[in-house]
Amino acid sequence: MKRTSKLFKWIGLVLGSLLGLICLALIIVYVLSNARLNKSYTIPAVALTIPTDTSVIAEGKRQFMTRGCVDCHGDNGAGKPVIDDPVVGRIVASNLTAGKNGIGQQYRAADWERSIRHGVAPDGKPLIVMPSQEFYPISDDDLATLVAYIKSLPPVDSAPRPRQVGPLGRILLVGELVPVLPAEHINHTAPRPQVVTKGATAAYGEYLAKTCAGCHGQGLSGGPIPGMPADPPYPRNLTPDVATGLGSWTEADFFQAIREGKRPDGTTLSTAMPWQAFKVMTDEELRALWLYLGTVPAKTYGNR
Ligand code: HEC
Ligand code: HEC
């Protein structure tokens, strides 16, 4: 009798201290993540000259699709939920139009550049999960074209956006496991191409393929996206690995996958892969991407 009560006391003590440690760790995570969420960045932003002619706007729309903006900000630019999980967080992509709760009315030329390229809002705070690390290298020309299209969108009213990072989201942030705050992962003074030479070259393909890395991983070998709730199908291996990647695909197979969402074996790609947006890529862009994919080191599936 006495021995069991002693045992219970011990178990209680161990559990109590464990709970205390977890609470302490969570408090530290909250303090550290708050400091980073509220950090103010001073970015020497460039005020782009935004063209207004209609031919540029059509090209801007194509870039809105092929750079993946449409995937999170929606066809009408009014924003869609990006993360909706009580543990990870609730984040909705901004309404980019001039409608109610949209940014279109207040934004000035330098604000567009700072948000898209640097991941920093006009108030200096870092944007959450807006993948600016992929957009930093976009040339001035292409960025101005993209913004011209966004500014031409009809105003859409939206509700105020929830913007909350949950406990797991904060752990991912503090542990640097995923770029929760892309502004932290960008060298804000790195040189950028002023104009990019377009053409069916691997170099142009590398420029375009920045958009693929967010889902397919920096090494393009696919697998579950770290920090995101498990949600198959997972991004596939785009490296030239023969067994698990695109090693046995032809250029025609690649074109068919992006344009029609169909693999060489006839199976279809799910919409988790934004091929319906990417199918507006030109032959030149697809050829450039295919050439670039042929040059990346082969990796087996899931090594990101
Ligand atoms: C993976 C989803 C995702 C993609 C892809 C994406 N965005 Fe965003 N974007 C977001 C989220 C989420 C926010 C809001 C971030 C916040 O509230 O901190 C945002 C914010 C913005 C803002 C700042 C708005 C504000 O509230 O001040 C601009 C401008 C913007 N995005 C433009 C773009 C453009 C242009 C593209 C394509 C080149 C793009 N985004 C691609 C998710 C995305
Ligand atoms: C929003 C996330 C996302 C982005 C961005 C993305 N992909 Fe994908 N991709 C996926 C997913 C998920 C799959 C697997 C779809 C399935 O199995 O149905 C996939 C599959 C593919 C496949 C089929 C491969 C195979 O073996 O079946 C190709 C090819 C592909 N992606 C190319 C690209 C290229 C090129 C880019 C950049 C221009 C890109 N993807 C950007 C999510 C993405």
What are the tens digits of pLDDT across the range 87-141?
Answer: 999 999 999 999 999 999 999 889 999 999 999 999 999 999 999 999 999 999 9
- Who's near 128: CB < 8 A, 6+ residues apart? 37, 89, 91, 163, 165, 180, 181
For 106, half-sphere exposure in the C-beta direction (CA atoms, 13 angstrom radius) is: 9
Residue range 71-78: mean pLDDT, rounded: 97
CA 274 to CA 258: how far, in whole Å? 9
Residue owning the nearest CA to atom 43 of ligand 1: 130
| Residue 302 token pair | 């899931």
Q: Ligand 1 centroid vs 94 CA: distance in angstroms?
A: 6
* Alpha carbon of 183 to ligand 1 centroid (Å): 12
Indicate which ligand has the atom closest to the C-alpha of 277.
Answer: 2
Q: Ligand 1: which of 127, 128, 211 to mutate, judged by most atoms within 8 Å of the beta carbon?
A: 127
Ligand nearest to the CA of 65: 1
Ligand having the closest approach to the CA of 120:
1
CB 120 within 8 A of CB 128: no
Rounded CA-CA distance 115/94 in Å is 11
Predicted pLDDT of residue 186: 94
The answer, yes or no, to whether any atom of ligand 1 lies below 6 A from the CB of 146, is yes
Q: Which residue reads 């919409």 in tokens?
A: 271
CA 131 to ligand 2 center in whole angstroms = 17
Q: How much is the average pLDDT of 166-178?
A: 89
User: What is the phi/psi pair of residue 150, to 5°?
Assistant: -60, -40
Q: What is the pLDDT of residue 230?
A: 81
Percent of the chain with pLDDT over 90: 84
Separation of CA 77 and ligand 1 centre (Å)? 10
Q: Is the CB of 135 under 6 A from ligand 1?
A: yes
Ligand 1 pocket member 257 (CB < 6 A):
no
CA distances from 94 to 76, 82, 138, 233, 242 (A): 12, 10, 20, 26, 40
Q: Calculate the alpha carbon distances from 128 to 12, 95, 119, 132, 232 in Å.
A: 40, 14, 8, 10, 23
CA atoms within 13 A on the CB side of 55: 0
Q: How much is the pLDDT for 2? A: 67
91 with 37: CB under 8 angstroms? no
Can you tell me which atom of ligand 1 is nearest the CA of 112?
29
Ligand 2 pocket, residue 278 CB under 6 Å: yes
Q: Is 270 close to ligand 2, i.e. is its CB under 6 Å away?
A: yes
Residue 46 has pLDDT above 90, yes or no: no
Residues 79, 156 contacting (CB under 8 angstroms): no
Predicted pLDDT at 195: 72
Judge whether residue 194 has pLDDT over 80: no
Q: Please answer whether residues 223 and 302 qualify as being in contact, where contact means their C-beta atoms are separated by less than 8 angstroms.
A: yes
User: Of 237, 263, 236, 242, nearest to 252 (Cα)?
Assistant: 263
Structure tokens at 182: 């892309």
Give the tens place of pLDDT for each residue, 196-220: 899 999 999 999 999 999 899 999 9
**Is 288 a pocket residue for ligand 2 (Cβ < 6 Å)?**
no
Q: Categorize the per-residue pLDDT at 229 as very low, low, confident or very high, splitting at 50, 70 and 90.
A: confident
C-alpha gyration radius of the chain: 22
**Ligand 2 centre and the CA of 167: distance in Å?**
29
Whether 130 contacts 182, CB under 8 Å: yes
The residue type found at 44 is: P
Residue type, 144: A
Taken in order 265, 267, 270, 276, is the CA torsion positive or negative?
positive
Q: Is the peptide bond before 233 cis (omega within 30 degrees of 0)?
A: yes
**pLDDT tens per residue, range 279-288:** 999 999 999 9
Residue with tokens 């040189």: 191
> Quick one: tokens of 274?
């934004």
* Atom of ligand 2 lying closest to residue 249 CA: 26
Q: Is 70 in the pocket of ligand 2 (CB under 6 A)?
A: no
Distance (Å, whole) CA 186 – CA 118: 7
Domain ranges in the chain are 54-185, 202-293
Tens-place pLDDT, residues 129-155: 999 999 999 999 999 999 999 999 999
Give residue-wise pLDDT tens across range 268-279. 999 999 999 999
Mean residue pLDDT across the chain: 93
Task: Tell whether the model's pLDDT for residue 15 goes beyond 70.
Answer: yes
Q: Is 170 in the pocket of ligand 1 (CB under 6 A)?
A: no
The closest alpha carbon to 74, from 83, 66, 64, belongs to 64
- In angstroms, the CA 62 to CA 170 distance is 35
Number of residues that this document lists for the chain: 304
Whether the CB of 95 sits within 6 Å of ligand 1: no
